[in-house]
Chain A
C-alpha cells in the first residue's frame, strides 16, 4: 500500500524512499544555510555603525517590514475614507438639487512600499515583454541567415555590455522630445523605464534565439527540404520548436537582467518603483531608513527569485528536450 503511494508520488519529484537522508537533504540543509546566514548577519550588523545608527539586523528588518505593511494599510484606509466622504458630499448635493454639478476627484496619496512593488513589477514585465517581442523575431531572422548574422553580430556584441546608467540620459531626453501628448496613455517615467529595461535585456534573448536557430540539425533541415515546406511553415514547424530550449534560456537571462536594470534605472531617474523607494529612504536619512532599505533589498531578491522560478517552470513545460537538465 505505502509502496503504491510512493510510486504515485515519484513523478512529482519525490525521492524513491522518504528516508531520513533525503529528508535532510531536501529540508534541513537549506534551512540551516539560512540560519547560518541570519546568524552571521546578526553578528555583523551589531558591529557596523553608520551615521544613521547601527546597521539593521534581522530583528529590525522584520520590525520595519511590519511597519511598511501597516503604513500601506493606513494609506488604503485613508483612500477609502476619502472616496466615502466625496460620495456622501455628492449624494447630499444631488438630494438638494438633482441638476447640481458634482466633482469627482481621484485620491492623490503617497505611494506606499507595496504600491512601489506593483509599479516595478508592471514596468519590468512590460519592458521584458517589449524586448522579447523584438528580440525573438529578430533572433530568428538573424539566425536563419549567415550574412545577416555576420552583419549584426558586431553591433550586438557592442551594445550587449552597455550599462543601463549609460542609456538612461539618452532615453530620458529622447522620450521627452518624442513622447508628447496632452493625454498620455502612460506616464513619461514609465515609458523611460520601460525603454531602458528593454534596451538592456534585449540581448540575451536575441543572441540565444539566433544561436538556437542557426544550430538546427542539418538532418531536420533536410527533412524540411524533402517535404518542400514553405519558408513560413519551415519556421513555424521546424525552426521555432527546435530553438525553443535556447530561446527560453535567453528569456530567463533577459528577465533577470531586466529586473536588475529596472531597480537601477528607477533609482537614477527617480521614476516610481522600488528603486525610487530605496533612493527616497536613503535621502530621508531617519534612524529607520537602513532597516527599510534592507526590507526592500530582500523583497527585490525574492521577486527576482520568483520571476526566475516562473520562467523555469514555463521552460520545463515547453522544452521538448527532456535530456537537458534544467535548474
Chain B
C-alpha cells in the first residue's frame, strides 16, 4: 500500500433535480484513498452512499467539486472503475461464463488472444469459486453465486478501483460470511483498491482498512473516519473475542446510533420493515444486549 493519494474526492456536491426544486443529496464530500486500500462507506439508508459510489463510477456527475483518479479527472464511467451492483446485474440470458466474457472481450479486445481470454475468464471464475457452475445461467444459480459472478466480472476488468454497492446486502448471513472470506482472500492476493458500501457493522470492521461514516441526508457528508488497524489475515472466529475488534465495532455503532440517530428512531417508531436475517457472525454472541438492540434497530432502518 503506497502512501500517495490514488483516488481523491474534493468538495463534492450533488443536486438532484426534483419537481419541487433541486435536492441537495451530498454537500462537500472530501475523501482521499490510497492505492490498495479497502474502504467501507457506512451510513443510514438514504444518506447518499450509493450517490457517492455512482459519482466515483462516473454514472452521476458532481454538481460541484470532483473526483481525481491518479491525477486524472473522472467524468464518465469506465472499466478501470468496475462496479459490483447490489442486485448482481447479470445479463439473465447469458451464462456466468458469458457474462464475464462480455466484460473481458470489451476490455481486452486488443491485448489478449482468444485463448488468453478464455483462460482469464476461467481464472476469475475460479477466484470466486464458480468453476463448477460457470455455464449456468443466472436463474439457475443461487443469489450468493450470482453475486460471486458479479464480483468475477468486475475483477476480470482488472480495475484500478473496485466499487461495490452493498454487494452482500441481499444475502443470508451464512452466504454473506462465505463471500466475505472469499473477498478477503482475493484482496490479499490482488491488493485492489476497493470502496464498499455496507450497512453491516461487522462486515465493515472485518474487511476494511478504513471505515468512512456518513452523516444523515439531505446534504450528507463524511462524518467520521475510523482507521481499522487489525492485523491481516483476519479470522472472524478469533476476532470475536478480540477487545480491539469490539472497540472498533462500538465506535461505528456509537456513530450510527448515538451521533447520527435518526429522528424517527429516537421517537421509538413501531417496526415497519420486515426483519432481515440476523447476522450469524459469532462475534455477535459476545455482544451485550444494548448493542444487540441497537444493531437490530439499525438493520430495520437500513
Report the minimum CB–CB distance from B233 to chain A (whole Å): 30
Q: Given that A228-B77, A228-B78, A241-B93 are contacting pairs, would A322 and B139 also be in contact in the complex, using a CB cutoff of 8 Å? A: yes
- B residues within 8 A CB of A227? 79, 102-103, 106-107, 157
The B11-53 residues at the A interface (CB cut-off 8 A) are: none
Q: Tell which of B59, B102, B107 touches A225, judged by Cβ atoms closer than 8 Å.
A: B59
Q: Given that A237-B102, A323-B139 are contacting pairs, would A226 and B91 also be in contact in the complex, using a CB cutoff of 8 Å? A: no
- Indicate whether A284 reaches chain B with its CB closer than 8 angstroms: no
The B49-91 residues at the A interface (CB cut-off 8 A) are: 57-59, 76-79, 81-83, 85, 87, 89, 91
- Please choose the segment from A216-224, A248-256, A297-305 that sits at the chain B interface, where 4 or more of its residues have CB less than 8 A away: A216-224
Task: State the CA gap A128–B83 with chains docked (Å).
Answer: 42
Report the minimum CB–CB distance from A319 to chain B (whole Å): 9
Task: State the CA gap A229–B57 with chains docked (Å).
Answer: 15
The size of the chain B interface, using a CB distance under 8 A, is 23
Report the minimum CB–CB distance from A324 to chain B (whole Å): 11
- Indicate whether B92 reaches chain A with its CB closer than 8 angstroms: yes
Report the minimum CB–CB distance from B192 to chain A (whole Å): 16
Report the minimum CB–CB distance from A124 to chain B (whole Å): 30
Task: State the CA gap A226–B76 with chains docked (Å).
Answer: 8
- Indicate whether A321 reaches chain B with its CB closer than 8 angstroms: yes
Is B93 touching A222 in the complex (CB atoms < 8 A)? Answer: no
- Indicate whether A68 reaches chain B with its CB closer than 8 angstroms: no
Interface of B is mostly: loop
Q: Tell which of A226, A241, A323 touches B83, judged by Cβ atoms closer than 8 Å.
A: A226
Is B83 touching A222 in the complex (CB atoms < 8 A)? Answer: yes
Is B79 touching A222 in the complex (CB atoms < 8 A)? Answer: no
Considering the complex, give the chain A residue whose CB is closest to the CB of B103. Answer: A227
Q: Tell which of A222, A237, A320 touches B92, judged by Cβ atoms closer than 8 Å.
A: A320
Task: State the CA gap A185–B92 with chains docked (Å).
Answer: 45
- Indicate whether A125 reaches chain B with its CB closer than 8 angstroms: no
Report the minimum CB–CB distance from B74 to chain A (whole Å): 12
The B228-253 residues at the A interface (CB cut-off 8 A) are: none
- B residues within 8 A CB of A222? 57, 59, 77, 83, 85, 89
Report the minimum CB–CB distance from B140 to chain A (whole Å): 9
Report the minimum CB–CB distance from B83 to chain A (whole Å): 5
- A residues within 8 A CB of B85? 219, 222-223
**Chain B, 88-114, contact with A by CB distance < 8 Å: what is the 0/1 string?**
010111000000001100110000000
Q: Tell which of B59, B106, B139 touches A228, judged by Cβ atoms closer than 8 Å.
A: B106
Considering the complex, give the chain A residue whose CB is closest to the CB of B137. Answer: A320
Q: Given that A228-B78, A322-B139, A323-B139 are contacting pairs, would A219 and B103 also be in contact in the complex, using a CB cutoff of 8 Å? A: no
Is B106 touching A229 in the complex (CB atoms < 8 A)? Answer: yes
Q: Tell which of B58, B91, B157 touches A241, judged by Cβ atoms closer than 8 Å.
A: B91
Task: State the CA gap A228–B75 with chains docked (Å).
Answer: 13
Task: State the CA gap A187–B104 with chains docked (Å).
Answer: 52
The A205-251 residues at the B interface (CB cut-off 8 A) are: 217, 219-220, 222-223, 225-229, 233, 237-238, 241-242, 244
Report the minimum CB–CB distance from B73 to chain A (whole Å): 17
Q: Tell which of B58, B76, B89, B93 touches A223, judged by Cβ atoms closer than 8 Å.
A: B89
Report the minimum CB–CB distance from A175 to chain B (whole Å): 41
Report the minimum CB–CB distance from B21 to chain A (whole Å): 22
Task: State the CA gap A217–B58 with chains docked (Å).
Answer: 18
Q: Given that A226-B82, A227-B79, A228-B78 are contacting pairs, would A321 and B92 also be in contact in the complex, using a CB cutoff of 8 Å? A: yes
Report the minimum CB–CB distance from B93 to chain A (whole Å): 4
- B residues within 8 A CB of A241? 91, 93
Q: Tell which of A223, A228, A233, A321 touches B91, judged by Cβ atoms closer than 8 Å.
A: A223
**Chain B, 125-142, contact with A by CB distance < 8 Å: what is the 0/1 string?**
000000000000101000
Interface residues of B (CB under 8 A from A): 57-59, 76-79, 81-83, 85, 87, 89, 91-93, 102-103, 106-107, 137, 139, 157
16 residue pairs A–B, Cβ–Cβ below 8 Å: A219-B85, A220-B89, A222-B85, A223-B85, A225-B77, A227-B107, A227-B157, A228-B78, A228-B106, A229-B106, A233-B106, A241-B91, A241-B93, A320-B92, A320-B137, A321-B92
Interface residues of A (CB under 8 A from B): 217, 219-220, 222-223, 225-229, 233, 237-238, 241-242, 244, 320-323
Known: A220-B89, A227-B107. 7 other contacts (CB 8 A): A220-B91, A222-B89, A225-B76, A226-B57, A242-B91, A320-B92, A321-B92
- Pick the 10 closest A-B CB pairs, nearest first: A320-B93, A219-B89, A225-B77, A241-B93, A226-B77, A227-B106, A226-B83, A223-B89, A320-B92, A219-B85
